[in-house]
Amino acid sequence: MWVLLAAAGHAACFTNSLRQGQDPAVIFKDGQFHLSQSTGSSIRLRRSPTIGGLAAASNPVIYTPPAAEGTELWAPEIHWLSNRWYLYYTLNTNSASNGRARRGFAAESQGSSAVGPYTSRGLVFRDFWNIDGSVFTWNGRLYYLFSGEPVQGAQCIYIALMSNPYTLAGAPVQISAPTRPWETIGSPKVNEGPWGFEHEGQLFICYSASGCWTDDYTLGLLTLTGTNPLSASAWTKSGPVFTKQPGAYGPGHNSLVQDGAGQWWNFYHANPETGQGCGGYRRLRAQRVFWPANGAPDFGAPMPEDSVCTDSPDFLAAHFPLAETTGAAANNAVCGRPGVVNGPAVWIRPGLYFNGTNTFVDCGRGTGNDVQHQLTLAAWVRPDAFQNWAGIITKGTNLAPYALQTWSDGSARFTANWPAGGVYPPGTIGSGSWNSTGKLALGQWSHVMVTYDGQRVRFFINGVADASQPLARLRFGTTAEPLVIGADFSGGHKFFQGAIRGARVYGRALTLPELAQLENLPPTFESVPDTNLVAGQSLVLPVPASDPNPGQTLRYQLLSAPAGAAVDSQTGTFQWRPGLAQAPSTNLIVLSATDNGSPSLSATTSFTVTVRRPVTPLLTAISLSGGHITFEVAGDPGLDYILATSTNLADWTPAPPTNPPAVPFGITLPVAPGDPRRFYRVQHQ
C-alpha cells in the first residue's frame, strides 16, 4: 500500500551517473547500501543509507589478496552469508598467460564488520577460465554463479551448488551460452556478470551479453521456469532487457538490490559517449526496477546523463507549487533545479499566469527521466481559453514521453510517446492520446489529474473519476529534453492561456485516498498590514482568505484579540472599537480560517493594532446668533464627542453625542432664557 508522504523538506535525490567506475556490486543491509569496487589490486567499500550518498562516501580498502594468489583484481562482490561477510573476486593467477588463467576467489570476514579484517579462502573453482563469481540463496540452499570459458571463443553462464560460502558441492552446470544476435556482438562472444535474485517466489538471473568493448553491451535475463536451478532446461532466456540509449552506451554488469522501503534498484555501468569501450570512461548508475503484473522485472531504459532521481517511496519526481510573488524562478519542492519562467512572469498569488503566447516554465532536462512505467500528472488550472493540446505539463520539447494538456472543447488530454508514427523517445512502448469526458470551465480553478498504473489511463477532475478510462500498454521513453509547464513544444508550440499552480509529476499512479489528500489543500491568507488608530475610533478591517479547492467554504474565528473585538465568521471582517481604558496599547490579533473539506484544514494569520490616547478636545471659536450658541470643537476624528452644560460647575447636562466625520466641527445649542450664566465643556464619550 502506498502512503502519500508529506512534502516537508526535500526527498533523497541523486543524479545519474553517480561517479566513475565499473561492475557495481551492491547489497543493502542494516539500513545501508554497500558498494564494492576494485582498485586493480585491492577491494574498496562504500556505504551509505542513500543511493546518492554512495558518490561521496568514504572508500576504504577493506581487503588486499595475498600476492601469491594473483594480480589484476576484477569485479569484486560483497555478500552477507551465515553471519559473516564474504568477498568474491577475480584474479589473474598467471599474468604471463594473457589472462587465460583467470579464476574466482573468496575471502571471509573474521568478525561481523563489513570492513574486515578478512581471511582468504582461496579458489572457488579452478578447472577452467572463469570470472565474475557471485552467490545467491534459493529455498535455503546457496548457489555459485560465474562466467566461464572452457574453450576459448565463448563465455557462458554456469551455476553450482555450494556446501559452504567458499566450497562447491558439485560440478558447475552451463545454463546460458551466447547464441542470440544481441549476445554475439564482438569476439569472443560473451555472457558474463551473472546476478541471482528472487522476487515473490520467482528466481531470476540477470547477466551481461556481447562485448563490453562495444556500445552493444547489454543485459539479458534468465527466469527459472522449471524446478531445478541446476538444470539448463529449467531456465528460460529473454532479452535484451536493458539496452543502449543516447548518453548510456554499453549498459551492463549490474546488480539488483531491494532497499529498506521495498523498492528495487538496478545498479549498472554505462559509457556517456559512443565508442568508449571497457576503459575508464564507464560510470556507475542506478534506477528503479518495476514489476508488472506478469511478475518479470521491467528495467525500463537507461536514463540520459545528468538525470535527477528520487529514492523516496512516494516517487514524487517533480513538484512546482508556483506560489512565488516575484521573479523568474519557480521553486522545485523536491528534486532538481528551480524552474525558469520564460516570457512575462506574472504571479497571481497563488499561481503563475500564462499568456498563451510565450510564457512557460523550463524545469530542466534532468527532471522526470525516472518516470517510465507508471505516472501521475496533476495541477490546478484556471484556463482563460482552450486550444488543441495546450500544454499543462510536458516532458520533452521534440520527443515527448508524456504530456498533460487541455483540448479545444475543454477536456483534459493525455499524450504518451509523441510523435505518433514517427521517431519515438528511447525506451518507448506504445503511444497514443486520450481525452477526458468531463470538461474544465473557463475562468474557474479546477484540479486536473491523469494517472497510468501500467494498464489503464485514468482522468480525475476536481477529485472525481472521469468516465474516460482507456486501457493502454505503455512504457514512457526517456529524453534529454526539459520538463515544461505551460506549453507543448513537441506538439507544435501550443501555449496554455490562464493560470497554473501545484504542478506535480509522480512516477507511480496515485490511489483515490491519496488523491483526496493531494486535492484538499488548506486555505491561505493574504498579508494583513499592521494598523494604528485612536481609542474611540472604529476599525473595520477585511482579512481575506481564499481556499484553493472549488466548492469549499470558510469559517473565521478569533484566536487572540483584546476585549470587544470580533470577526464575522463568514466574511472574515475584523471589527473593534477600543475604549479609552485600552489606550495606549499594542494588541496582537490572531485569527484562523477553516475550510469544510475532509479532513478540515485551517490557516492562521496575525497582525498588530496599536491604540493611542486621543488628544484633549478643545472648544475654540464661540458665536451667538438668534438665541443659539455655536462652538467649534478641535480634536481627533472618528470619536464620539459630548457637549455638556452646567450653571454651577457641579451638575452637568449632556447633549446627545456627536460623531463627526471630520474635525474641527461645530456644535450648536439653544441659549436658555433668563440664565445669568452657563458653563460649557466638551469631552470624549
Reported as a single tens digit per residue, the pLDDT across 652-685 is 888 888 888 788 888 888 887 666 688 888 887 7
Strands 602-612 and 531-534, bridge-based pairing: parallel
Per-residue confidence (pLDDT) for residue 526, from 0 to 100: 85
Mean pLDDT for 68-92 is 96
Per-residue confidence (pLDDT) for residue 368, from 0 to 100: 95
**Euclidean distance between CA atoms 309 and 52, whole angstroms:** 9
Mean pLDDT for 468-478 is 95
Per-residue confidence (pLDDT) for residue 621, from 0 to 100: 82
**Euclidean distance between CA atoms 114 and 356, whole angstroms:** 58
On the question of pLDDT at 356 being above 90, the answer is: yes
Annotate 550-583 with three-state secondary structure. Answer: CCCCEEEEEEECCCCCEECCCCCEEEECCCHHHC
Contact 523, 602 (CB under 8 A): yes
Mean pLDDT for 306-332 is 94
Q: Which tens digit of pLDDT belongs to each residue from 527-574?
A: 899 999 999 889 999 998 888 776 678 999 999 999 999 999 999 999
On the question of pLDDT at 495 being above 60, the answer is: yes
Which residues of 111-190 form beta strands (DSSP E)?
Answer: 118-125, 130-138, 141-148, 156-164, 167-168, 173-176
Q: Please, how many CA atoms are within 13 Å of residue 449, restricted to the half-sphere of its CB?
A: 25
> Which residues, 6+ apart, have CB-to-CB distance to 298 below 8 Å?
241, 289, 290, 291, 292, 373, 475
Share of the chain above pLDDT 90, in %: 76
**Euclidean distance between CA atoms 634 and 486, whole angstroms:** 60
Nearest residue to 485 (alpha-carbon basis) of 424, 418, 404, 415: 404
Contact 131, 90 (CB under 8 A): yes
Contact 390, 495 (CB under 8 A): yes
Nearest residue to 555 (alpha-carbon basis) of 568, 539, 538, 537: 568
Contact 499, 359 (CB under 8 A): no
Per-residue confidence (pLDDT) for residue 3, from 0 to 100: 30
Host H or E run for residue 513 = helix 512-519
**Euclidean distance between CA atoms 86 and 121, whole angstroms:** 10
Nearest residue to 19 (alpha-carbon basis) of 49, 59, 75, 79: 59
Query: Residue 110 is placed in which grid cell?
Result: 573474521
Query: Residue 301 is placed in which grid cell?
Result: 531504459
On the question of pLDDT at 300 being above 80, the answer is: yes
**Euclidean distance between CA atoms 148 and 172, whole angstroms:** 10
Contact 667, 658 (CB under 8 A): yes
Query: Residue 69 is placed in which grid cell?
Result: 594468489
406, with CB counted inside 10 A (0-12, 13-18, 19+), is buried
Query: Residue 238 is placed in which grid cell?
Result: 529473454
Per-residue confidence (pLDDT) for residue 97, from 0 to 100: 54
On the question of pLDDT at 596 being above 90, the answer is: no
CA distances from 612 to 473, 615, 685 (A): 72, 9, 16
Per-residue confidence (pLDDT) for residue 137, from 0 to 100: 97
Beta partners for residue 195, in sequence order: 206
**Euclidean distance between CA atoms 120 and 88, whole angstroms:** 10
Residue written as grid cell 507511480: 508
**Euclidean distance between CA atoms 168 and 163, whole angstroms:** 6
Amino acid residing at 236: T
Q: What is the mean pLDDT of the chain?
A: 92
DSSP-derived letter for residue 280 is: T
The total of other beta-carbon atoms located within 10 Å of residue 341's CB is 23
Q: Which tens digit of pLDDT belongs to each residue from 124-169?
A: 999 999 999 999 999 999 999 999 998 888 999 999 999 999 999 9
Rg (CA), the chain: 37
Nearest residue to 369 (alpha-carbon basis) of 320, 315, 322, 423: 315
Mean pLDDT for 177-201 is 97
Provide φ and ψ at 256, rounded to 5°. -115, 135
Contact 431, 417 (CB under 8 A): yes
Nearest residue to 115 (alpha-carbon basis) of 22, 53, 40, 36: 36
On the question of pLDDT at 6 being above 60, the answer is: no
Q: Which tens digit of pLDDT belongs to each residue from 400-449?
A: 999 999 999 999 999 999 986 678 899 999 999 999 999 999 998 889 99
Mean pLDDT for 161-183 is 98
Confidence band, pLDDT 50/70/90 cuts, at residue 519: low
Mean pLDDT for 99-111 is 92
Per-residue confidence (pLDDT) for residue 1, from 0 to 100: 25
Sign of CA dihedral 287, 288, 289, 292: negative
The more confident residue out of 379 and 629 is 379
Per-residue confidence (pLDDT) for residue 350, from 0 to 100: 76
Amino acid residing at 108: E
Beta partners for residue 540, in sequence order: 575
**Euclidean distance between CA atoms 137 and 143, whole angstroms:** 6
What is the residue-wise DSSP string for 59-112? --EEE---GGG-EEEEEEEEEEETTEEEEEEEEES-GGGTTTTEEEEEEEESSS
> Which residues, 6+ apart, have CB-to-CB distance to 236 below 8 Å?
222, 223, 225
In the sheet that holds 283-289, the strands lie side by side as 19-20, 283-289, 264-271, 249-258
DSSP-derived letter for residue 129 is: -
Specify the 3-state DSSP secondary structure of 137. strand
Q: Please, how many CA atoms are within 13 Å of residue 56, restricted to the half-sphere of its CB?
A: 4
The more confident residue out of 646 and 584 is 584
Per-residue confidence (pLDDT) for residue 95, from 0 to 100: 57
Per-residue confidence (pLDDT) for residue 639, from 0 to 100: 82
Counting every residue written for the chain, the total comes to: 685
Per-residue confidence (pLDDT) for residue 10, from 0 to 100: 41
Query: Residue 589 is placed in which grid cell?
Result: 490579533
